[in-house]
Amino acid sequence: MVIGHGSKDAILSETEARAILEQGLASRALDGKRIIVLIPDTTRTAPVPMMFRLLTELLLPRAAQLDFLIALGTHPVMSWERILAHLGVRPEEWERRFARVRVFNHRWDDPQALARLGTIPAAEIEEITEGLMSQDVPVALNRIVLDYDVVLICGPTFPHEVVGFSGGNKYLFPGIAGPEIINFFHWLGAVLTNLRIIGTKWNPVRKVVDRAAQFLEKEKLCASMVTTDEGLHGLFVGTPEEAFSAAADLSAQIHVRYVDRPFAKVLSVSPKMYDDLWTAGKCMYKLEPVVSDGGELIIYAPHITEVSYTHGKILDEIGYHVRDYFLKQWERFRHVPGGVMAHSTHVKGIGTYEDGVERPRINVVLATGIPEERCRRINLGYRDPATIRFEEWQGREHEGILFVPKAGEILYRLKTTSQPS
């Protein structure tokens, strides 16, 4: 049973959030257990300091050990100073109140940090993907979690380009996973395309993630949040599958905005929490459905100077392309990690590749701190961010021009059922 509630029109107070957590955890046999909590990094809007306070308040008296693991996926590790700021704790307060608690960064790229849990066989993958793919998929997670009795996932749920909605077992895969399964299901999502997957609760990629989670034979709980800049709209406690499902239903009401018609020009403003194009790509994913054929989407982010702090070298080599550019030249690109190719196709958007000619459906332009030469080299457009004036974009929806002042978490869709394909 899921414990919790939420509303698109109301914000939960800390007292209400505490009551939900307390009720959701009260019936669980957590006394004397070793508990590890998986939390997001700074690339998600979430009341992490509040949840950290509440979980430590409720669980430290009960647990034999309470630690936290930042579900970075392939994002860069966080320094201790950034971690403290992320948790809302001053250094002197940590020593006084939380000396028993440890916080770990996930390391997807360190084989010594990973444990192989099993393999999803090719026949099962073929069934899950409806024949689209057929290969054995190794399942590996951060070996730290094997030292605990209970894994508690605590993170927000938003529409997501790879798994439909984030949250639930996605905090295991890719949150604390090894590269093989990360690359596999990200490429699966890319082959299916962002337009088909994003904002869809149940899909083949989610099935892969939930299937992989079965290899972790630990008690798994989830506190799934639904958040906006205004605060916490919903909180649901249960199994990862149950809590995710309830949160995704609420997220679909809060994080999806419907418009009457597509836009020829979109200015998608990246918030500062995205510090490279790898994360700021969400400013494209959430808006691709409402850009008209032949239209232009500008990712405005003067603060971003890097393509990807983790994968930039590979992206400089392969560039940004539509899906079929890779599929129709597979021997040339099969060595490239699937997660990197997936990011490339998601940022470029859907399109065609025929007779050696690539035709993306829309034109994606970077107005960032990345130099023009590099933008052109990686096959994206360039515009000097200094030439952009927000007031020239605002209030012009009737002209086919859309201004999105904080992009990346709200999915835009057409009211009609006919979407770009």
Q: What CA–CA distance (Å, rounded) separates 34 from 149?
A: 5
How many CA atoms lie within 13 Å of 116's alpha carbon, on the beta-carbon side?
7
**Phi and psi torsions of 106, nearest 5°:** -75, 145
Q: Rounded to 5, what percent of the chain is helix, strand, coil?
A: 35, 25, 35
Instruction: Name the residue among 215, 268, 223 with its Cα closest to residue 243.
Output: 223
So what's the pLDDT on residue 1? 85
Q: From 206, 208, 246, select the one nearest 224 (Cα to Cα).
A: 246
Domains and CATH numbers, the chain: 3-254 (3.40.50.11440), 258-414 (3.90.226.30)
pLDDT tens per residue across span 247-292: 999 999 999 999 999 999 999 999 999 999 999 999 999 999 999 9
**pLDDT given for residue 418 in this prediction:** 56
Which spans in 69-151 are helix H? 80-87, 91-97, 122-128
Residue 173: what residue type?
Answer: F
At 323-360, the pLDDT tens digits run 999 999 999 999 999 999 999 999 999 999 999 999 99
Distance CA 395, CA 407 (A): 16
Q: Which residues contact 151 (CB under 8 A, 6 or more apart)?
A: 35, 36, 38, 145, 172, 216, 218, 219, 220, 221
Separation between Cα atoms, residue 154 and residue 148, nearest integer Å? 16
79, pLDDT greater than 60: yes
Neighbouring residues of 131: CB distance < 8 A, sequence distance ≥ 6:
none
Q: Are 348 and 161 in contact (CB under 8 A)?
A: no
- The angle formed by the CA atoms of residues 74, 324 and 184, to the nearest 5 degrees, is 30
The helix/strand count (H/E) of the chain reads as 16, 20
Give which of 239, 143, 176 is closest to 41, Cα–Cα.
Answer: 176
Amino acid at 203: N
Element at 342 (helix H, strand E): helix 338-348
pLDDT tens for 124-133 read: 999 999 999 9
Quickly state the pLDDT bin for 157 (edges 50, 70, 90).
Answer: very high
Read off the pLDDT of residues 371-406 as tens digits, 9 standing for 90 and up.
999 999 999 999 999 999 999 999 999 999 999 999
Reply yes or no: is the peptide bond before residue 174 cis, omega within 30 of 0.
Answer: yes
Q: What value does the mean pLDDT take over residues 45-66? A: 97
CB atoms within 10 A of CB 132: 12
Alpha carbon distance 271, 303 (integer Å): 9
- Report pLDDT for 416: 80
Q: Calculate what percentage of the chain has a pLDDT beyond 90.
A: 98
What residues have CB less than 8 Å from 16, skipping those under 6 apart?
none
Those residues whose C-beta lies under 8 Å from the C-beta of residue 10, and which sit 6 or more positions away, are 233
The pLDDT, as a whole number, for residue 419 is 57
pLDDT of residue 238: 97
For the stretch 85-131, pLDDT in tens is 999 999 999 999 999 999 999 999 999 999 999 999 999 999 999 99
179-196 average pLDDT score:
97
Q: Kindly state the average pLDDT of the residues 46-64.
A: 97
Q: Please report, rounded to a whole number, the percentage of residues in the chain having pLDDT higher than 70.
A: 99
Is 99 in a helix, a strand, or coil?
coil
Which of 25, 21, 108 has its CA nearest to residue 70?
108
Which pLDDT band holds residue 27 (cuts at 50, 70, 90)?
A: confident
State mean pLDDT over 65-76: 97
Tell me how far apart the alpha carbons of residues 22 and 371 are, in angstroms, rounded to a whole number.
Answer: 50
User: Where residue 361 falls among pLDDT bands split at 50, 70, 90?
Assistant: very high
Residue located via tokens 């083949």: 204
Provide the 3-class DSSP secondary structure of residue 210: helix
Q: Which amino acid is located at 190 in the chain? A: A
